[in-house]
Structure 1
Amino acid sequence: MMTQSKANFMLLIVTIFWGSSYLFMKMGLTVIPEFTLIALRFGIAFILAGTLFFRRLLHAGFKTIQYAFYLGTILFFVFISITFGIKTTTASNAGFLVSLTVIFVPLLLALYLKRMPEKRILFGISFALIGIGFLTLHHQFIISFGDFLCIIGALFYAIHIIVTGKLTKDVDSISLGILQLGFAGAWGLLFSLIVEKPQLPSTLDSWVAVLGLGVFCSAFGFVVQTIAQKYTTPTHTGLLFSLEPVFAAFFAFAFAGEMLTAKGYLGASLVLIGVLTAEVDVKKFLLKKEACKTNQGCEMTK
């Protein structure tokens, strides 16, 4: 039986795998072209996840396939930006910059609804912007192209999250999630055939990178996320996912010897504070706790 604790633990494992993805991309890109890496990553993920849930896919209707095409296309743009960006920035930087997704989501929703964001969102944006400056700006006060692409990737990922929330209401979410992986991989293969010379991994490191990205970061990550989020709260999910850049920095340090400068660590800390500020509604949390003390609304916190 799935409990909230088990669901949270599963999401923590997903977050760890996603934190490792930046290192895997760095490893893979030393041998494999960018579009080919995207094609292999999502192609492997689609085959594995599709095999596991093939009965669901057999019953996927036209609407599910149509929605999956939209989401897979947006996901492709997400990973074009991140994959090309990580070639000219560090895995640590990429992890913290992509975490800005958490801030972009409520900001885009506020723009769409034509209303001012909540104060905590504005505070989070302020912290994050200052952090980005410390993390990415150098002596010339020019942000590198790789860092810029990772920020664009975070923006596309925020769009993907918002669109996913709207499209999953009328279709089977697992089928939708798996099919979007297939479309993202298909786009990668198409562009690989047009602008690259497709090739399989030729070294042990590149095989480890491709299998790590395809099996653990994509197939396992996206499917388990879909299942686990049914049994936990959005607040817990957001908090766990905010740890992704921390794990990205850890893996980059442990296996690639990447180290941020003192200014970089300060910037990374401010970005993380900004993300947490935007994600956690402290006032709402305290009100729930107070309701529990008076035996009212305790079920909201379960």
Structure 2
Amino acid sequence: MPNQNHKLSERTAAVGLMVAALFWGLSYPLTKYVEACPTFYIISLRFGIAALCLAIAFHRKFKLLNRDVIKYAFLLSFAVFLMFAFGIWGIKYTTSVRSSFFTTLSFLMIPVLNRVLFKIKISKIIVISALLCLVGVFLLCYAPGMGGLVINSGDLLCILAAVAGSFHIILVEKVSKNPRVDSSLFTVFLMGFISLWGTLIASITGDIHYSLTGSSQLIAIILMGVFCSAVSFCLQTHLEAFVSPDRVGVIFALEPASGCILSVILLGETMRFTGWLGAVIIMISILYMEFAAGKEASKQPETEDSKRKGSA
């Protein structure tokens, strides 16, 4: 029974993480829409809105506040801040479609970092899924008639965002298992610290005095704050404890797939057949990982039972 409950929890958590990835995918066309706004001004406003919404929603949980919540939120806020700073800066010099893919290259980095830092073995399922995702990214980058694989400055900035994002995913998985850290409160303070760093830098650069040119820009930033930040990070922090970080990395590859499709629909960006093929391959890699992992987990209880019978 415990194994079945755990399996159900892991599957439900995986679905919740997919929803988070879809919301993050929406952030790419929205960020591209407000690209005229200064980078740190966007971060300040977006995460300030997210922190306020979450603080109101979880105000009753503030009685659980302790030093660990504030400490870990403070430390992890730097990784998330760098991820968004590089990502928003990078999208100014590349398309929303390409940014959505490059920013999520973390699915390749996570298994390697886990192996190097924590000696966690990389499973065959994760290797196959990650390689399929890599093929999808390559198909997007490959531009016929432009010398093959073309990487511009915006793409490089998005890759730096992916590095910061991979550290964030790994560390959130560790923090989410700490019994002293309430996931909701942690997310409230994480959003607050990120907004604080954005506000401080925007104040130094003078960007804090920027005025939005229309209500549509404000609506876009509010949508990013509520759905692409508050809801998504809350889902990630609460559910990552039930799913291995390697699997989380591949699940979050849904982010670029949804990002490129929404960019085409909402912004009218064009994408070659190879780009669409890459998005399909990413979807296949995630379906393969979930199916293979579920099949492997279903065999586990039988193996344990057979061992008990053999020892008896």
Q: 1:28, CA displacement in angstroms?
A: 1.6
Per-residue deviation, 1:275:
6.0
Map 1:188-267 → 2, pairs under 5 A:
188-198=198-208, 199-227=210-238, 241-267=252-278
Match of 1:162 among 156, 170, 191: 170
RMSD of Structure 2 on Structure 1 (CA): 3.2
Give, in angstroms, the shift of residue 253 of structure 1.
1.5
1:45 corresponds to:
50
1:213-267 C-alpha deviation (Å, 9 max, x unpaired) = 111211222224444567x655996776443223212211211112211233344
Residues 285 and 228 (structure 1), Cα distance of their counterparts in 2 relative to 1, 3 Å cut: closer
* Equivalent pair of 2:43/2:195 in contact (CA under 8 Å): yes
Separation (CA, whole Å) in 2 of partners of 1:122 and 1:239: 10
* 1:124-163 aligned within 5 A: 124-138=129-143, 139-140=146-147, 141-163=149-171
Show structure 2 runs of 5+ residues with no match.
1-7, 307-312
Tell me what 2:297 maps to: 288
Q: How does 1:56-95 map to 2 (within 5 A)?
A: 56-95=61-100
Shift of 1:130: 4.0
- Please tell me whether the aligned partners of residues 135 and 263 of structure 1 are also in contact (alpha carbons under 8 angstroms): yes
Q: Cα deviation per residue 1:98-153 (whole Å; 9 max; x = unaligned)?
A: 33323322121012245763344444444444443332244244411212222221
CA drift at 1:292: 7.2
Which segments of 5 or more consecutive residues in structure 1 lack a partner in the other structure? 298-302
- Report the alpha carbon displacement of residue 6 of structure 1 after superposing the two structures with TM: 7.3
User: Hey, what does 1:173 align to over in structure 2?
Assistant: 183
Rounded Cα–Cα distance in structure 1 between residues aligned with 2:132 and 2:272: 19
Identity %: 29
**Could you tell me which amino acid in structure 1 is paired with residue 82 of structure 2?**
F
- Whole-angstrom distance in 2 between the partners of 1:194 and 1:223: 30
| Structure 2 residue matching 1:29: 3-state secondary structure | coil
Distance 2:254 2:86 in 1: 21
**How high is the TM-score relative to the length of structure 2?**
0.79
- Where 1:202 maps in the other structure, the secondary structure is coil
Alignment-mate amino acid for residue 45 of structure 1 = A
CA separation of 1:9/1:80 partners in 2, compared to 1, >3 Å: closer, same or farther?
Answer: same
Alignment-mate amino acid for residue 73 of structure 2: A
Aligned to 2:29: 23
Query: 1:171: Cα distance to partner?
Result: 2.0
Opposite residue 234 of structure 2, the aligned amino acid is V
Do residues 118 (structure 1) and 123 (structure 2) align? yes
Deviations 1:51-83 (A, max 9, x none): 222232354222321211111111101101111
**C-alpha contact 1:27 1:205 (8 A) present in aligned 2:** no
TM-score, length-scaled by structure 1 = 0.81
What letter matches 2:23 in structure 1?
F
CA distance in 1, matches of 2:79, 2:262: 27
Alignment partners' CA distance in 2, 1:13 and 1:115: 27
Tell me the equivalent position of 1:96.
Answer: 101
